[in-house]
Each structure stands twice: as structure tokens, then as C-alpha cells.
Amino acid sequence: MSRADRAAVAGLLLLSLGLSLVNLTSPFLHHCESCGTQVGKIARNFLKFGTGATGFGLLDVSGPRLAAYDDPRHYYYASHPPMTYWLASLTMRVLPGEAGIRLLPALLSVGCVALLLRIVWKVHGRETALLAGGLLATAPMFVYMGIATVHLVVSIFFVLGSVAAYLHWREDPRPGRFLLVAGVQLLACWTDWQGYYFAVIAGIHLLMTDRSKWAWGALLVGLNFVYFGSYVLFLYSLDPVGKAALGHLFHTGGERVALSPGMLPAYVLGEARELFLYYTIPVMGLALWSLIRVRDPLAVSLLALGLDELLFAPYTAVHDYFTICLAPALAVAAALEIRRWTASPPTPRRRAILAALALAALGQAGWVLQNRWTRVGGYEFYYRLAEAITDVTRPEEKLAILTNNVQFYTPYYADRYSVSWDPDAGELLTENSGGRWKASRADLEAFLKSNPQRLDYAVTATPDGVRRNVRFLSGAGDPLLEAFGVRAGDPAFLESFCGPPVERKGFLFYRLPRRP
């Protein structure tokens, strides 16, 4: 690699790092940033309670004491493998708060760009690699959602690492190199579910380039079952009696795989909108044309990283960040098309078209990123709720939260044991992964009056108080406030047996009576 090449690579990596560090220390108030609070809440418990108490499992609890919970083993979060949370607990030791959580995806975003450069350089050469790296580093979906979601860019990093190891093995198929592939694949599978798609990526690439090695692809698929089995055994070891973690894994997995036929048109249109918005219209156009016309084995096989879009369609339909998994494939495909246009000296007309496409892509990317980095939405309500909780209550006190409460957002900032009421589902629940039981409005009133869990406060709010203190809802009508769980009648009901409340930031805290 020449000095000019090293300078170009360093420039791309610095660009990626700079974009990834935007809003490093800001509160999680922007689109999809509740993912960061989910990772942070669980990763922080490794720091609070240690690996001995958690058993390296993802303990989804709040507050300073595990003794507040009837059985902490019922509160393991199993919807995602643990690697991201383990790594986040390390970066949170380096930097506190939001910065420590965002540091992990920021570093691994740069790592993804570096790995894609290495992969494409090996397959397609210098020019295409630099183009693909630049497109990945500046794609709004990758830049913003990579940091906001935390776990997906970590997963992409280990999948790209697996692809790099696989191509290294293809150059010289020695057993030792295949063991490296299997080892990185294990890390990918223990990071998130996208790790299991590496075997599909390798299988497609082998079918398109060297079918004589199909058995190796089948072996990688077989390793997926071994690695999933190891995760199941890990969850079983956390709670071998109640098996709550295993139940949580298979319950949430089943919820996410059924898409009714009537949802299909809206789903397709929604996913197309996300792609052309977050990857820009010019880049998507170039990538699609390349995928249809060229069908490059690397670009086509990397599309399998986005299999969530097909396998978990009901879930991806309401979460616009899953298309980040298509970022490497689209970057490679678009780079190949740009390289085709520039392989021979371009005509003035072609040069003008390329310049117009570049300006349009940069303009759209800048607009999308500025919007996502600065626009504050409904998370402000939960953030203000958490601020009020930390102002009024002590860390060891226990709460009943009667407004809506994102079970991993408010607990991250407030970090108090809490029971929440979901009026839409008619449920009382403890934490995101804990117990849920049916409760009508009458059941809720009886629960608070009898106070069997010896809770300290019931927390609610009035519409006027929220409008004064939550900027996002300053002009909200009653129907929107009711969607946040703010109802005019709650304070009167609580005052009938609690007495007057303490008011903070528009939220009302009622001291609950305790029975002997």
C-alpha cells in the first residue's frame, strides 16, 4: 500500500470516527435512542452487581439492591445474545453515562469501515474499496442508526470480521484458517442474531464462485446450530429451575415472525421509503442497478446480512433501523457501478452526471443527519419523568409509575425499582423482562391501596403540568397526552387515600400508605 493509499484510508477512518462521535455525551432524546438506554441499563448492572451476581447474564433490573426483587433470575433479558452488553460494560468503565455507551458503536463503526475496505480491496481492488468505504462511512443509515441502536453495528462488525476471515481462508484453504473463520463466527453469533447470517453469506458466495466447496458452506450452517445450542445452554444455566430466560427467548422470537398478508403492501412501501431516505436516492439507484445488472458475488452475498427484513417482518416493519444491515452490500454495489462509470476517461456529459449525483447524495445525507441529530421527540417525556424521580426519591425507594413508562428508558435514567401499569394491555408489570399480571383499573386501585410490595410512591402527572415542563408536548391535546398515560382523573383518585402530592417538573408523587 502506497503512502497515498494509507493517507486515503486514514482519512476515511477519521471521517467515520468524527461522524460517529457527534452527540457523544448528549442525552438519549433522539430517534431510536432508547436502544442505547436498553444496552446501558443492562450493561450497568455488570458494574453494579458484578459478574458473580449476574452470572454474565443480561440482568434487567433497576435500583441498588437485588434484594428488592422476589427472584432476580426471573429478570434475565434473553432476546439478544450478550456480547454487545459485555463490551458496553467495558466502555462504560472508560467513560461514564451516554458517552460510555456510544463509545462502543463509535469505535466499531470505524472498525466496520476498515473491514469493508480490506474485504473489497482484496476482491475488487483499491479504487472500488475506497469508494465502498466512503459510501459506508457517510451513509446516513450507517452513521446515525449505527450509533443510535448500538447493538446492530456491533453485530455488523463481527459479521464483516467473519467475511474477512472467510476470504482469507479462500486464498489458502488450510484447516487453521477455517478454524479462524469458525472462531469469529462464534463471536458473531454471540453478539446478535445477524451473526447467524454469516453462514448464509458464505454459502451464497461459495455457490456463486466455487460450488466444489459447498460442503464447507454446509459446515458453517451446521456450526450455527452448535452456537445456538451453546446460547440455549447458557440461558438454561442462569435459571435451571424456573427456566424463565429460556421462556423469554422463545416467546419473543415467536412474536416476531408472523406477517399477515394484508400488511405486505404497506410493509414493502415502508421499507422502500427507508432505503431511499437513509441511503439517499442516488446511492440506492446506483446500488440497485448494479445488483440487477452485475450481480457481483460479494455484493449479492452480503445482502443476506439483511435477512431480518424477511424473517422478522412484523418487527422490522415498525423499526426503521434494521435496514442498516444492508449497508455493506449497498456500499459495495454502488461502488462497483461508480467504478464502471469511471473506469475509462469519462465524457463531459458523464462527468456532469456523476457530479450531480454526488451533490444530490451529499445534500440528502446532510439533511437526514441534521434532522436526526437535532430533532427531539417523545423520549423527552420519559427523560423528564426520570429527572423528577431522581429529584424526589432515594435510590432504594420503590415506585408505582402510572404514566406510560418505556421499561428500559426511564429505568436507565431513574434507576429505581418500579411497577408500571399498562392501561392498553390491562397489565401491571415489573421491568421489561419481569412479571406481568392482568389488572383492570379496579385491580390497580386495590393494588395501590393494599400495597403488597410496600411501594413508596405512586407517580402520575396532570395534562397542564406536562405541557408546562415537556417542550415536545407543550401544545399537545388531551388525546396525545393520554397516549403518554397522562389522564386528568388520576390525581383525584390517589389523593383520596394518599394525601397531597409532591410536584416536580410536572409530575406528581403520592406517598403510598404501608400496611403492617
Other CB atoms within 10 A of residue 34 CB: 22
pLDDT of residue 362 exceeding 80 = yes
Residue of 485 and 200 predicted with greater confidence: 200
- The helix/strand/coil state of 426 is coil
- The helix/strand/coil state of 507 is strand
Q: What is the pLDDT of residues 373-395, one digit of tens each?
A: 999 999 999 999 999 999 999 99
Residue reference for cell 474499496: 129
In the DSSP assignment, the letter for residue 242 is T
pLDDT of residue 516 exceeding 60 = no
What would the mean pLDDT of 245-254 be, rounded to a whole number? 76
Quickly list H helices, 95-197. 97-124, 126-138, 140, 146-149, 151-171, 175-189
pLDDT of residue 144 exceeding 70 = yes
What's the rounded Cα separation, in Å, for the pair 264 and 314?
Answer: 10
What local confidence, expressed as pLDDT, does residue 255 receive? 54
The distance of Cα 219 from the centroid of its chain, to the nearest Å, equals 29
Q: What is the pLDDT of residues 51-84, one digit of tens each?
A: 889 999 999 999 999 988 888 888 999 999 999 9
What local confidence, expressed as pLDDT, does residue 256 receive? 57
What local confidence, expressed as pLDDT, does residue 365 receive? 97
Q: What is the pLDDT of residues 253-268, one digit of tens each?
A: 655 555 566 677 778 8
For residue 31, give Cα distances in angstroms to 103, 134, 175: 18, 24, 45
What's the rounded Cα separation, in Å, for the pair 511 and 283?
Answer: 57
Q: Give 96: exposed, middle or buried? Use CB within 10 Å, 0-12, 13-18, 19+.
A: exposed
3-state secondary structure 360-374: HHHHHHHHHHHHHHH
Residue reference for cell 454526488: 358
pLDDT of residue 306 exceeding 70 = yes
Residue reference for cell 383518585: 493
What would the mean pLDDT of 18-23 be, rounded to a whole number? 97
Average pLDDT score over the chain: 92
Dihedral class, residue 495 (left if φ above 0, else alpha if ψ from -120 to 50, else beta): alpha
Question: Rounded to two decimals, what is the model's pTM?
Answer: 0.93
Q: What is the pLDDT of residues 180-215, one digit of tens each?
A: 999 999 999 999 999 999 999 999 999 999 998 899
The distance of Cα 433 from the centroid of its chain, to the nearest Å, equals 17
Lowest mean pLDDT among 50-64, 171-185, 260-274, 454-468: 260-274
